[in-house]
Amino acid sequence: MNEQSVCILAVETSCDETSVAVVENGVRIRSNVVSSQIETHRRFGGVVPEIASRKHVESITWMIEEALQQAELTTDRLSAIAVTQGPGLVGALLVGIMAAKSLAYALELPLIAVHHIAGHIYANQLVQPIEYPAIALVVSGGHTELVYLEAPARFRIVGQTRDDAAGEAYDKVARALRLPYPGGPHIDKLAHEADVAQEMPRAWLEPDSYDFSFSGLKSAVLNTVNQAQMRGEALQSAQIARGFQESVIDVLVTKALRAVNEFSARQLLLAGGVAANRGLRAQLSERCAELGVPLIVPPLSLCTDNAAMIAAAAFLKWERRDFAELDLQAVPLLNLETW
């Protein structure tokens, strides 16, 4: 590491993962420590906000130490402290924000506020340089969006879900099929075990719309499950999982590629927890290869929540010297376009 290297320590606590990372010059991960609370929340079938906050409090201090240790850095080599400001659970966000503010104050370093979805999108920059204009397909537990990036950190949402997010639909369908929380990986696995798919609807919406809707699909799955139960038939879980997954992927991939074409994007970026889906990754890679669309897909560890992606997005603000004040507030519904 040379004298000019910019090392940003980032903190992410927006939901049920506590994470601290150190990233050099916005692209080189020196450490990315993630502690998942999934085991704690599983018995409740979803994230319990109050418990999430308490768990973040328990882990954050040792995780900051661990991230610095793994990065083989002392605090005097840090250039800035970054933190997720939103969107997310307000109590969970607050823990990260308080930790980041304290560090920034004690070390006399600038504080950088980051939008969680900007982080998911800039996880791609940790894989390879992003070329503009680009289209990002953001699919996470709380968001499903097609985002147009005209230039670095200039986001325009061209389509979004009108009801459930893709990850949310996965989790609800998994619950109906009696799979553990979070359901995404379980549905993904089960879908690969079926040799045929149960027929499921696709919500294309208006012909020119980039919006998504997954609630009709979710209801179709629930109806299938209820009908099987009423008739006393064995549930064809794998076939249902495959039908559901094929419907979600078909709509996501088709709309993303239409956006790439219409906006003359030079790259398609995949982002968010659902980007860990094997079926989606395979289908998107195949279609992009056929059409000659350059695709970036982050490795699994950078798809689900982590602080390295927050540091990568923070680097853009570092370059513009766009720093936050120490009275920074958590914003549970932070807007991506004005961030």
Annotated binding site for substrate: 138-142, 171, 184, 188, 277
The CA distances from residue 34 to 109, 136, 141, 147, 305, in Å, are 23, 24, 17, 26, 8
Tell the smallest beta-carbon distance from residue 272 to Zn ion (Å): 6
Q: Residue 226 carries which side chain, given as an amino acid letter?
A: N
Cβ–Cβ under 8 Å, residues 19 and 11: yes
State which of residues 110, 183, 243, 298 lies at the interface with ligand KG4 (CB under 6 A): 183
Minimum distance between the CB of residue 304 and Zn ion, rounded to whole angstroms?
7
Under the criterion CB under 6 A, does residue 86 sit at the interface with ligand KG4?
no
Residue in 36, 10, 300 with CA at minimum distance from that of residue 182 = 36
Q: What does DSSP assign to residue 212?
A: B
CB of 145 to Zn ion, least distance (A): 12
Applying CB under 5 A, which part among 123-131, 176-184, 252-260, 301-309 lies near Zn ion?
A: 301-309
Q: Tokens standing for 93?
A: 């966000």
Position 31 contacts Zn ion (CB under 5 A): no
Q: How far is the CB of 284 from ligand KG4 (least distance, A)?
A: 13
> Of 21-40, which residues contact ligand KG4 (CB under 6 A)?
none
Q: Exposed (0-12), middle (13-18) or buried (19+): which is 15, by Cβ within 10 Å?
A: buried
Residue whose CB is less far from ligand KG4, 36 or 79: 36
Cα separation values, 307 from 51, 56, 70, 240, 293, Å: 20, 13, 14, 35, 28
Q: Verify binding: residue 140, Zn ion, rule CB under 5 A.
A: yes
Kindly state the smallest distance separating residue 323's Cβ from ligand KG4, in Å.
25
- Token readout for 247 is 């419907």
Per rule CB under 6 A, is residue 142 in the interface with ligand KG4?
A: yes
Q: Which residue among 305, 312, 314, 339 contacts Zn ion (CB under 5 A)?
A: 305
By C-alpha distance, which of 32, 28, 48 is closest to 40? 48
**Which residue ranges make up the site for Zn ion (CB under 5 A)?**
140, 305
Residues that bind ligand KG4 (CB under 6 A): 15, 140-142, 167, 170-171, 182-185, 188, 272-274, 276-277, 304-305
